[in-house]
Amino acid sequence: NAGVIQTPRHKVTGKGQEATLWCEPISGHSAVFWYRQTIVQGLEFLTYFRNQAPIDDSGMPKERFSAQMPNQSHSTLKIQSTQPQDSAVYLCASSLDGTNERLFFGHGTKLSVL
């Protein structure tokens, strides 16, 4: 079991460019979560899928951010027209069925927007 895999580990983009972050959940897990981690804000919930369907995207900034889960084995978080304030570590997590259970986190993608 390789755990939750996030790629890339580090991404550097110029202001205004697009960034796509990838997450491969643990096989058999039906729920996938995205969080953003910064020193100032801590861990912020972005969005969550269960059985590939979006359940709650209340934490997603309304503009420029989108997330998809086209199949059971991966989810993507896309940020269009990146801004310096988007710089953060983006963490993906999965859980067995999306109810109150432990989350398994990936190592995160550190996004730096110059």
Q: Does 4 bind another protein (CB under 8 A)?
A: yes
Q: Does 100 bind another protein (CB under 8 A)?
A: yes
Report in angstroms how near the CB of residue 57 gets to another protein at its nearest. Answer: 10
3-class secondary structure per residue, 6-74: EECCEEEECCCCCEEEEEECCCCCCEEEEEEEECCCEEEEEEEEECCEEEECCCCCCCCEEEEEEECCE
What binding mask, one character per residue, do residues 55-94 give for another protein by CB under 8 A, x or -?
-x-xx-------------------------------x-x-
Report in angstroms how near the CB of residue 15 gets to another protein at its nearest. Answer: 26
Three-class DSSP category at 78: strand
Q: Does 22 bind another protein (CB under 8 A)?
A: no
Among 12, 61, 78, 101, binds another protein (CB under 8 A): 101
Q: Are 95 and 101 in contact (CB under 8 A)?
A: yes
Q: Are 95 and 102 in contact (CB under 8 A)?
A: yes
The residue ranges that bind another protein (CB under 8 A) are 4, 31, 33, 35, 42-43, 45, 48, 56, 58-59, 91, 93, 95, 98-108
